[in-house]
Structure 1
Amino acid sequence: MSQVVVIGAGLGGLAAAVRLAAAGRDVTIVEANDVPGGCCGTATLGEYRFDTGPSVLTMPEVLADVFAAAGEDMESALPLRRLDPYYRLRYHDGSHLDVVAGEDAMTERVRELSGAAEAERYRRFRARLGELFDAEWPAFIDRDMTRLRDLARPRVLARLAALGGFRSLDSLVKSHLTDHRLVKAHTFQALYVGLPPRRALGIYAVIAHMDTVGGVFFPREGGMHAIPRALAALAEKAGARLRYGVRAVKVEAGPSGVSGVRLDTGERLAADNVVVACDLSRAHTGLLPKGAGDWRLRRPRYSPSCLVLHFGLDRRLAGQAHHTLHFGGEWDATFEALRAGRPQPDPNLLVTYPESDTGAAPRGHATLTVLEPTANLRGGADWDRLTPRLEDRLLGRLADLGYGDLSSAPRLTLDPPAWARLGHSAGTPFALDHRFSQTAWFRPAGAARRVPGLHFAGMYTAPGVGVPPVLISGRLAAERVLESAR
């Protein structure tokens, strides 16, 4: 039986392990932490529990497909609920827009905010988002990009160009919408790929389609960390072994390819195939064998990072949406500051209030998470001095926005140095940005060309950052392993 070692029990590694175990492979997952999840992590502070990773879940069918690969129904193991609204967008001028399900309902919200003419423009733009998604998803997102010929799809590229996919995201959206508030609603997603809207390609409008049209979801119990816990249980049920609290220190390889993995316990796990699903930049500093180098990582360009404050509240917040985006009064200047490695002058904030996750706080209490984009560690800031300044400013901003004085509330802070301590290169949990030279085939390859049997999954590989892309990367890695055995 083929022996596979998966390094990292994050979403990508777990997705690969589930499929490989279900296909009859002998799978061992090695995870340095004591729980599964990787970037989709969890932390506690007294009686409060926080999700320390992604808070936005879209495309639940991608997750359901992992369960289906093992013959299981996701709804039974991991029931989800659709958020309503998906987002609440609050603007500097005091107006707001709830992003809701359904074309007619959403068009009516736009009409109330921006008028009948803009509502019709929005309806046409929504159709354009769907066209971009239909062209891009099967050809470039849900497809293996380890070979150059996979990128050369003239008809699809021509179609994407005709739809505006190779314009800047900013100009694409502005060619359809005139209200700056709606433009922001469909371009802030550029932050997910680590770029300002003026530098992100129009193809990333598919992210706006995924969350404003397809919807945003949340586990009914256990928060976002319920996802890796359910996947880990699924992998074990399929026959995989999980080793927690054990670190892989070296992938061994010979002339014919990988042969095993050395652990920090001194053990050696024999392997015909290895799937590396951890921080790829760090893996290249000693974990990987000679010959595994990838020219795409010679000059990596990392995404910005973030300052995240997790609060334990002694009260519930009436009428608060699960996700609220507070847009600052400055727009272009915030992105320019990020690009230059400076603090944003008037940052846009993502506030997450997982009210339905009742197990995250004592009865009558709640948790609140606030994310402010920041430069990563490559910016050279003195974070020992900068973090307290940004925390104080953020507390003041939250008070002004109506959240009250949170200065004495239990608080867990994650800044770029903290992300680095958690194992993220450049102190960013968002890996490489998605400029053209780090997209699709140009992103680090999913397999080592000169080391047979060595595969990669996670946000450093294609398709890239985000829960659905990372799950897809795991599927693609599993498919390459299974294909190599035929």
Structure 2
Amino acid sequence: MLTRFDPAFLSDSGASPRAHAVVIGAGLGGLASAMRLGAMGYRVTVLDRLDVPGGRGSAVVKGGHRFDLGPTIVTVPQVFRELWAACGRQFEDDVDLRPLDPFYEIRWPDGSCFTMRQDRSEMEAEVARLSPGDVDGYRKFLAGAETRYWFGFEDLGRRSMHRLGDLVRVLPTFAKLRADRSVHGYAARCVKDERLRMALSFHPLFIGGDPFHVTSMYALVSHLEAEFGVHYAMGGVSAMAQAMVRVIEEQGGRVRQEVEVDEIRVADGRARGVTLTGGEVIPANIVVSNADAGHTYDRLLRGHKRRRWTGARLKRSRWSMGLFVWYFGTRGTREKWSDVGHHTILNGPRYRGLVKDIFLKGRLAKDMSLYVHRPSVTDPSVAPDGGDTFYALSPVPHLGHDEPVDWNKMAETYRARVQSVLERDLLPGLGEHLTESLVYTPETFRDRYLSPHGSGFSIEPRILQSAWFRPHNISEEAEGLFLVGAGTHPGAGLPGVIGSAEVLAQLVPLPQTLVQS
């Protein structure tokens, strides 16, 4: 039975109707957008197919262990403070953010390690310990990272890049900063030690990029860490998502879980609302999609002729890698493995070769590098008394290559490999303490998050897939349609998806103009 949206929801008691905004997806980009739209005066409805808010930043609980499913590192906390301030609130009143020291430790197979901290003198001492001749080059790298931060994050990242003229005006700066050079290429020009080159160039992997091909503009992440630190939200990123929902609801908005948008309704060239998979029609003055940009254009606009983001163009796009994530709990280990901190990066024997297998060849290698998250050293609430909660993340090929991995057959085999590496290099005796276990593969990302090819971070942030070349925040396919989240400008990562909502607020019309028209 077709059920239409109740128009009474669009108005306050006794007041004239307010412009209605529908936000597709309760990921952090969608929730941040709903907060900003609510602050502008829109009545907002957020629609999400999962049973909890947060999208990839949600969590599941098994056997007393809370597993944060996605992002674990919070950088640039001021973007959250600015978001809350735009809603007339204080971020610290709703979220307990803890600075981490150290940020993380990087380990190599030869037994060497590198500890990342915020203090500049301590970092220079760490560089000197690893490679004495590279201290000056490290300073040069950080200076360039800061320059790229002011241009790439504070300038380009905080405004829309949907007009070709926006790109033309910044081309001289791109040329001056050698944006054509990769992050690894930039690091290699500054330092000579291969381990240090890895430590300064791997950050694009956190947003789905190949360090050997992603533009050197992303070296700005090193400045973000050095300037603003690395933080953890007590309760996990999922607690931040819950706090965002509370703000939306207190603004008069509504967040509906376990409902899936089937199609964006377009009439006379304008987005008019959405249709849910159950047939319910929800009209709206504007539609904001936090769904993956590929899913938005290929699926949600499938009945509408597209000019720019056609199916053929999406097939030609390069997508970020897939992710294999093993979430596991242990008992009686809180005091065990005392040398293992909140974040650890375990390098395999190869860097360039492994990245090439993942991004270019689409081949599941026998060796691996792992990002290991142990939040229980900071937040004991994530695990039962005396226990630990972990996740180990391995970058793997996405499902769009010619011979994709069949994870129905390979998941347990690969999980066992991950466990073997952890027992050998980081967590000896792990198997004796295991309790809970949960595995996410690229197939999970495809099915749970509707991510094209099961990619972990949407479209890869190469130079010709960034800024103007990336799906725009204001869609050219239908008036009144806007995009936020990892697949649009400015890109993936918590600062990027929160920033996309800031850009959205600059683009949407004032709600009273829509009602008057």
Superposition TM-score tier, normalisation by shorter sequence: over 0.9
Whichever residue aligns with residue 443 of structure 2, its letter is P
Cα deviations by residue, 1:131-160 (Å, 9 ceiling, x for unpaired) = 121122233222211221121224xx3334
Shift, 1:265, TM fit = 4.3
Q: Does 1:257 align with 2:273?
A: no
Cα deviation, 1:257-314, whole Å, max 9, x if unaligned, reads: 1222222344322211010111232233442251456245352321111111111011
The separation in 2 between residues aligned to 1:287 and 1:136, in whole angstroms, is: 31
State the one-letter code of the partner of 1:320.
V
Q: Of 88, 113, 120, which residue of structure 2 is paired with 1:103?
A: 120
Distance apart, 1:208 and its partner CA = 2.6
Counterpart in 2 of 1:306? 323
2:430 aligned counterpart, secondary structure: coil
Counterpart residue number, 2:295: 282
How do 1:169-184 residues align onto structure 2 when only pairs under 5 Å count? 169-184=183-198
Letter of the 1:91 partner, please give it. W
Distance in 1 between residues matched to 2:134 and 2:451, nearest whole Å: 42
Q: Which of 421, 430, 446 is equivalent to 1:406?
A: 430
Measured at CA, do residues 33 and 382 of structure 1 come closer, stay the same or move farther in structure 2, by a change above 3 Å? Answer: closer
Return 93-102 or 284-293, whichever deviates more. Answer: 284-293
- Give the residue type in structure 1 aligned to 2:419: L
Counterpart for residue 14 of structure 2: none
Match of residue 390 from structure 1 = 414
Q: Which amino acid aligns with 1:468?
A: P
Q: 2:470 aligned to 395, 419, 443, which one?
A: 443
Distance 2:224 2:435 in 1: 34
Counterparts of 1:449 and 1:438, CA distance in 2: 17
Please state if 1:151 is matched with 2:167: yes
Secondary structure at the aligned position of 2:130 is classed as: helix
Give the Cα–Cα distance (whole angstroms) in 2 for the partners of residues 174 and 122 of structure 1.
Answer: 10
Mind listing any 5+ residue stretches in structure 1 that lack a counterpart?
none
Shift of residue 190, structure 1, vs aligned partner: 2.7
Cα distance in 2 for residues equivalent to 1:276 and 1:159 = 31
Residue-pair matches, total? 482
Distance in 2 separating the partners of 1:322 and 1:401: 16
Q: Give SS of 2:509's match.
A: helix
2:154 partner SS: helix
| Alignment partner of 2:341 out of 316, 321, 330 | 321
Alpha-carbon distance between aligned partners in 1 of 2:375 and 2:58, rounded to the nearest angstrom = 15
Q: For residue 12 of structure 2, what is the aligned residue in structure 1?
A: none
Work out which of the residue numbers 395, 399, 404 in structure 2 matches 1:373: 395
How high is the TM-score relative to the length of structure 2?
0.89
Structure 1 residue 351 displacement after superposition: 0.6
Residue number among 188, 199, 213 corresponding to 1:199 in the alignment? 213
Q: Is the 8 A contact 2:42 2:511 kept in 1?
A: no
Q: CA deviation at 1:19?
A: 0.8
Alignment correspondent of 1:417: 443
Root mean square deviation, CA, Å: 1.9
Question: One-letter code of the match for 2:372?
Answer: V
Q: Which residue of 2 aligns with 1:132?
A: 148
Classify 1:263/1:163 alpha carbon distance in 2 versus 1 (closer, same or farther; 3 Å): closer
Show the 5 A alignment for 1:13-412.
13-115=30-132, 117-154=133-170, 157-219=171-233, 221-255=234-268, 257-288=270-301, 290-292=304-306, 294-295=309-310, 296-314=313-331, 315-316=333-334, 317-338=337-358, 339-355=360-376, 356-379=378-401, 380-407=404-431, 408-412=434-438
One-letter amino acid of the structure 2 residue matched with residue 233 of structure 1: R
Instruction: Report the Cα offset of residue 381 of structure 1.
Output: 2.0
SS in 2 for 1:175: helix
Residue 417 (structure 1) shift: 1.5
Residue 256 of structure 2 aligns with an amino acid whose one-letter code is: R
Give, in whole Å, the separation in 2 of the partners of 1:9 and 1:301. Answer: 25
Tell me the secondary structure at the aligned position of residue 420 of structure 1.
helix
Tell me which amino acid in the other structure corresponds to 1:123. R
Aligned-residue identity in percent: 32
AA aligned to 1:55 is T
Q: Distance in 1 between matches of 2:190 and 2:512?
A: 49
Unaligned runs of 5+ in 2: 1-17
Shift in CA distance, 230/409, structure 1 to aligned 2, threshold 3 Å: same
Q: Secondary structure at the match of 1:249?
A: strand
* In structure 2, distance between residues paired with 1:310 and 1:384: 17
Offset of residue 40 of structure 1? 0.9
**8 A contact 1:145–1:441 mirrored in 2:** yes
C-alpha separation in 2, matches of 1:254 and 1:424: 27
Single out whichever of 65-74 and 30-39 deviates more from structure 2.
Answer: 30-39
Residue 495 of structure 2 corresponds to residue 468 of structure 1: yes
Q: Is the 8 A contact 1:11 1:471 kept in 2?
A: yes
Match of 2:6 in 1: none
* Aligned-partner Cα distance in 2 for 1:308–1:63: 27
TM-aligned CA distance change 1:481 to 1:411, over 3 Å: same
Give 3-state SS (helix, strand or coil) of 1:419's partner: helix
Q: Separation in 2 of the partners of 1:153 and 1:284?
A: 28
Q: Aligned partner of 1:361: which letter? A: A
**Per the alignment, in what secondary structure is the counterpart of residue 153 of structure 1?**
helix
